[in-house]
Amino acid sequence: MAAQMMKTALHHNNVSAQPHILHPSHAHHLFQAHAKSLNALIALLALLLLTIIIWKILRLRLHKLPPGPRGWPVVGCLFQFKRFFTSELQDLVKKYGPIITLQIGFTPFIIITDAQIAHEAFVEKGSVFASRPTPPSLALFSSDFRNISSSVYGHVWRALRKNLVSGIISSSRASNHFRNVREQVVQDLVKRFSDAAAAAVAQNGGTVEVRPIIRYGIYNLLLSLCFGKQLEESVVLEVAQTLKKILLRSRSRMDDFIPWFRFIPWMQSNEEHRQLRQQQLNVVLPLIQEAKKFHEDGKLRTGSYIDSLLEIDLQGEKLSDEHLVTLCSELLNGGTDTTVTTLEWAVANIIIQPQIQAEIVKEIERVVGKRAVTEEDIHKLPYLEAVVMETLRRHPPGYYTLPHAVTEPCKLRGYDIPLNARVLVSVSSISNDPRIWANPSEFRPDRFLNLDLDITGSKKITMIPFGAGRRICPGLGLAMLHLNFILARLMQSFEWSTSVPGETVDLTGTPEFTMVMKTPLRALIKTR
């Protein structure tokens, strides 16, 4: 009996040890079953995608959005977007009116080109239009949208903005603590132009590229304001190079507007953003850590931006190191490119019209004499201020305001503005509107000499190079001081011209972070 049971067990073990061979007909049926499951899954996903698209389209059509060009399925007007940064915008305005919808994926962009409509949105309904969109791709560089420029409208934004304004931008603190710093930095800027001109005598026809020298000077100035001391040239250059790279590459991606693009591997650039963020931390964080040590020892310069940030409580918590990097970088980038761009455009127009340069110099000699212009002299130089204002009107640094978002669905001129809309004002359209400005294409500083203009647009919008309403640039006052002071010293120190008599300066613009000169300005400069 036992022997028989052992034979039976051995027989079963031998059978189970043999490989299992699937009959061809069974394999065919199994393959068909898998294929049917896969087809069913694909069909289900396609149906789900189609349902989402139809639902999105129907939801959009339930809103009475402002008119605009018809786009392609799914992507909308994505491939027409560049038209809104060219002269073609006015053709679209003639066709659709002063408020236009540009559909990008399922995100409506509301473009405002009229001053009165802009005032209604940003000033009269300021609290409703005071928020910001939050595209996922930009969360990394904004510490999850907890900086001044990209925070949604609320407690965090108010606290950070209040700290910036009271910390370093209010005229009393900025003047008292950093007047000498600004004087030293501007004097260094003048010397750099002088040295560059001397070095260029034997080459380039004696001409100097203006933008890089101004850019270094502004970064040097803002780094001093941020960290309370002047930094080594190598550090200034490293910070400037790193933050410029981030500024140009950290933009919204297509998957911010068409969410399912996030599942396409080649559409993703998260790794590049992480690498850029790490570069930013590597460059800026050591400056913050050094400042923290000085702060603990009571040696940090009072009135610097980092000094105010180290004291602030944000919802009961001190700011983390990464958050401090974000806020310091925001000050540096936000205050540099707009100022550099404006100064380059100003010098370009002054070279084109030598009589403007002569009038500036004449005014400085009459008011100031032979000594160097100081900050206190600026408001005694109305023609110089008019040149700066005309530059901001004719060549606003930003072609559009930064995107606004509404805090609740609302109406604007009878049209629906949904929560997910991005609202932008064409700054250039307003500042070159012939209904507001006579001969707007002409560069005429004298138009500002007897003009009572509120550049904030609070009463009436005629030009808004710094935005308007609750989201107006908090650094407006400081920016105007820097623009006037630096331009005055450059005009007082040098005679500016082109290298070839009769040569024209190319005033064609191209969009980067700001609207810059497509052909960078090269100037022949001679010490006065």
Note whether 176 and 313 are within 8 A (CB): no
Q: Where are the beta strands (DSSP E) in 261-316?
A: none
Name residues whose C-beta falls within 8 Å of residue 349's C-beta, 6 or more positions apart in sequence: 356, 390, 391, 394, 443, 507
Q: Which residue ranges in the chain fall short of pLDDT 70?
A: 1-62, 81-87, 167-177, 202, 204-205, 260-269, 500-502
Two structure tokens written together for 81: 């977007």
User: For the purposes of burial, counting CB atoms within 10 Å of the CB of 161, is it exposed (0-12), middle (13-18) or buried (19 or more)?
Assistant: middle
Residue at 194: amino acid letter: S
Q: How far apart, in whole angstroms, are the C-alpha atoms of residue 105 and residue 495?
A: 51
Torsion, Cα 326 330 336 339, to 10 degrees, reads 180
**What residue ranges do the domains of the chain occupy?**
78-527
Cβ contacts of 237 within 8 Å, gap of 6 or more = 216
Report d(CA 13, CA 451) in Å as an integer.
Answer: 103
Q: Look up residue 428 and give its amino acid.
A: S
Measure the CA–CA gap between 139 and 150, rounded to whole angstroms.
Answer: 9
Q: Considering the domain delimited by 78-527, tell me its CATH architecture.
A: Orthogonal Bundle (1.10)
DSSP letters for 407-457: SS-EEETTEEE-TT-EEEEBHHHHHT-TTTSSSTTS--GGGGTT----TT-
Q: Residue 405: CB partners within 8 Å, gap ≥ 6? A: 129, 131, 132, 133, 152, 419, 420, 421, 422, 423
What's the pLDDT score for residue 452?
Answer: 84
- Contact by Cβ (8 Å): 448, 389: yes
Q: Give every CB contact of residue 387 below 8 A, 6+ residues apart in sequence.
A: 346, 350, 356, 360, 445, 487
User: What DSSP assignment string belongs to 57-108?
Assistant: HHHHHHS-PPP----BTTTBTGGGGGGGGSTHHHHHHHHH-SEEEEEETTEE
What pLDDT score was predicted for residue 96?
Answer: 94
